[in-house]
Structure 1
Amino acid sequence: MALYFIPLAVVILFYINKLTNTLCVQREIPEDKQPKVFRTINVLITILLITSYIEVLFT
């Protein structure tokens, strides 16, 4: 199960970062605030991926 889930999670994180970069460019978010935006989104997506892995693992 982990052999499929971990590469998929990496692809999802990469794509979410790409979308976050597009958001920062379109909304013209200042350079000094962009790391905070990326960190917040990455932490939330990582929590979502971990909880979904645990849910799939135990069901």
Structure 2
Amino acid sequence: MNGRRGVDWTEIDAFARLTRQITEPWEAEALHDMAAAYAAEANEAEDTLREPPLTGSWGI
């Protein structure tokens, strides 16, 4: 698989243990979901023929 990817659970676990910045399970889940969503959208954006994600009244 080419392109960006989200973070693995092992990476989140290591980050949480080393930094002690993630203290609740929902924080780890949110980080995992946000990283996956960012990677998926960034990979989709590589397609130059793709329609922009925001259309309509936003003026794009």
TM-score tier, shorter chain, comes to 0.5 to 0.7
Aligned residues: 45
Larger Rg: 2
When normalised by structure 1's length, the TM-score is 0.52
> Sequence identity, in percent?
2
- 1:42 to 1:25, Cα distance in 2 relative to 1, 3 A: farther
SS in 1 for 2:7: helix
When normalised by structure 2's length, the TM-score is 0.52
Point out the structure with the larger helix share.
1
Which sections of structure 2, spanning at least 5 residues, go unmatched? 50-60
Greater relative contact order (CA < 8 Å, ≥ 6 in sequence): 1
Ranges of 4+ aligned residues in structure 1 off by more than 2 Å: 22-28
**Cα-Cα RMSD:** 2.4
